[in-house]
Structure 1
């Protein structure tokens, strides 16, 4: 059985961490598999949205498998390992994290590397690395600070204690909380909606949101206008205008 599974339903791909007996903790081999599946998604003209989730009800992802960390011969080898969070962030397509159970350490960073996060009511979020003698290295501080504010981020990173789903919702770490049974259907519903939108516009919207974090405001607005111009010049934009005029649903082709 593959420890990372990949499926496509229409325009929506799903990457599932499939090691529930180990709380979906990620091994180096799983990281390699995630990198490969991300490449498949990025190369596809038909995949328009990607769901990332974990198998079973107990855990989305408990982070890197700590028992595997001693496989790295030197700190430099550890520093330069293939990183699954980097891979998720490199997805060109919009991404949804469907968080069931534990999202700890690298699992929390994986969820925060997705564009949209929804959680089941049993979800818990934590940055527990400090309890083991280190800190997160997959974007923990920057993502938490932007998502929930500096004080709440400091609380999570400096204590390592978990935060329940409803608190995560109140802080803005997730967009919605569902029952466990409703989690994947809700994620699929959101993904299907995104998949009906113009694909190039969705991908440039993702770039635009990243720029809003990284750039000064005036530069971000300039960049947004450039992205808008690129979208406006596509065949899909012409189709959107034609469909609006003809009062019909548009047929977007990622062109």
Structure 2
């Protein structure tokens, strides 16, 4: 593995933040899966020394592939928590149990995806994690980029940062869309990926979380930092999921503030 790490960054991720009662799945993912992935993909990991080792922190990343949620936890110098679809945790039989154990070991928590109350519940869950001093990972774009461009960010990440005072560490991913393109069932073995951690952002100067202007300006600062790390072409618009019903189509015609 090549990186720009200083000597104190050479410690394994699990050495930085002890985790209690994580069980065999966590041991397996950290001690076996992670080293194997590093051998196969030879990831270039940059800027790990920027990541605070203790206290709440938000990793805000671009989103290119399903494996982004594996690349960040496996590269960060501390345990990272993120929300994942509830279906990964409630599947039946042995396959469901393996999926549940694996995602739990990676630091994932189940959440029902959607708008309205589901979105508010997700924000509440992430706020509780931050207040407990944990590190969480979020994708401000909301969903994966299908064309490789960087889309405008929703304001949920900024809301959490302003609400909790947690610093935001921007993350730029590259090559994950080649390692596992959208629609692929399994990762490819040869593409090389890069994970770049930027300097922590203190967004408090933008104002309180209750201010829409503060949330928007803070979000734009986050996306500018991600863009500098990822080098992607800017889309200049939101990455909208195709509308499935008339209400969703109306919302896309008249965009509202994204949280």
TM-score, normalised with respect to structure 1: 0.24
TM-score, normalised with respect to structure 2: 0.24
Higher fraction of helix: 1
